[in-house]
Amino acid sequence: MSGGERKTDLCAMAPAAYGTRIALAHGGGGQLTDELLESSILPHLGNDLLNEMLDSAILPQTPGRLAFTIDGYVVQPLKFPGGDIGRLAVSGTVNDLAVCGARPLGLALSLILAEGLEKKILEEVMASIAATAAEAGVHVVTGDTKVVGRGQADGMYITTAGIGMISGQGPHPRRVKTGDVIILSGSIADHGLAVMLAREMPQMHSALRSDVAPLNKMIETLMKRIATVAFMRDPTRGGLAGAAADLARRTGLHVVLEEEKILVRPETQHAAQMLGLDPLEVANEGKVLIVVPEADAAGALAALGDDPRGVDARVIGRVEARTDGVCELHTRLGGRRILQKPYGEQLPRIC
């Protein structure tokens, strides 16, 4: 976890002089960087590969195809009901691998810390990363730490990259066929609205909590039981509407969703109404959209239901024969509405 070039003038300065907050010198690559890694990061994330502290992690060779993903996390606030930036970073990267049919092999973690950040907050986030990685069954195997000036980076930015292995044929839009059904693993919009309430109305007490979670074990169970899974997507930014519209566009087929079958929790619906937002367009961080042949829908639901994160899974739509690349919502009132990917980002800084 390199901190950059070593600076000899900082090496002579006692780490204790910097107290309980992050200083610019902690990013200098010298003794203070080592002290930060040894006191605040490695105690939480240490493992055989990371402890080597090499410039690259050397992973054991595994047969199959590699999947590789990367994402940055700038969520504000750093901690929110149901999670924090650390749990979000691990879950988001693990889920991006899992929906491609990949088993995570290792994660890379890059930290950008602001001068003045309390070490206590850093260590809480590191503990959350460690707990979430353990939940997913994956290790952080390499990383980097930088420090920027006071007031920059909003305290902390995180970038995570992940590498995984695909055995056999993975899900892909080209496998989607007319007559397939669309399954959603649970309720929508919990994450984005929980973060927005925490940011905009911190004084408000609500039962709403983020759904952020690693889904790879649930997805692995599904893939083992149902070999015909055609496509998966985690409906993060752009929400369910964005994911379903993208599915229609990429397959060129007509996708229909049934509004009455889409689960929105009462507290989530209430928050959406207060903030003037459409739950269909709000990000999720612990749900997966799945396309399977209709004949395998019951088996897929049973596999998902064996995991606590999939007990509310349900069929919410289908793929029709029309080759127009359009996603259509059948509303509760009997109307029809075309769903599109949101034009911009209506909820900034939620991931």
CB neighbour burial string for 235-271, b if at least 16 within 10 angstroms, e if fewer: bbbbbbbbbbbbbbbebebbbbbbbeebbbbebbeeb
Same domain membership, residue 120 and residue 14: yes
CATH number at residue 302: 3.90.650.10
Task: Provide the residue type at 189 as one letter.
Answer: A
Cα 304 from Cα 224, distance rounded (Å): 11
Same domain membership, residue 106 and residue 78: yes
pTM exceeds cut of 0.75: yes
Residue 36 lies in a domain: yes
Same domain membership, residue 42 and residue 137: yes
Whether cis (ω within 30° of 0) applies to the bond prior to 77 is yes
Same domain membership, residue 334 and residue 275: yes
pLDDT per residue over 49-74, tens digit each?
999 988 889 888 888 899 999 999 99
Residue 261 lies in domain: 173-339
CATH number at residue 119: 3.30.1330.10
To which residue do tokens 């690693």 refer?
214
pLDDT per residue over 16-41, tens digit each?
445 799 999 998 888 999 999 999 99
Domain end (from 166, 198, 226): 166
pLDDT per residue over 249-307, tens digit each?
999 999 999 999 999 999 999 999 999 999 999 999 999 999 999 999 999 999 999 99
Sheet of 65-73, strand order: 65-73, 156-166, 102-114, 140-148
State yes or no: pLDDT of 12 exceeds 60: no
State yes or no: pLDDT of 3 exceeds 50: no
Q: Which range among 109-113, 140-144, 162-166, 203-207 shows the weakest confidence by mean pLDDT?
A: 203-207
pLDDT per residue over 202-249, tens digit each?
998 889 999 999 999 999 999 999 999 999 999 999 999 999 999 999
Cα 198 from Cα 303, distance rounded (Å): 34
Residue 6 vs residues 1, 11, 29, 115: alpha-carbon distances, Å:
13, 8, 5, 18
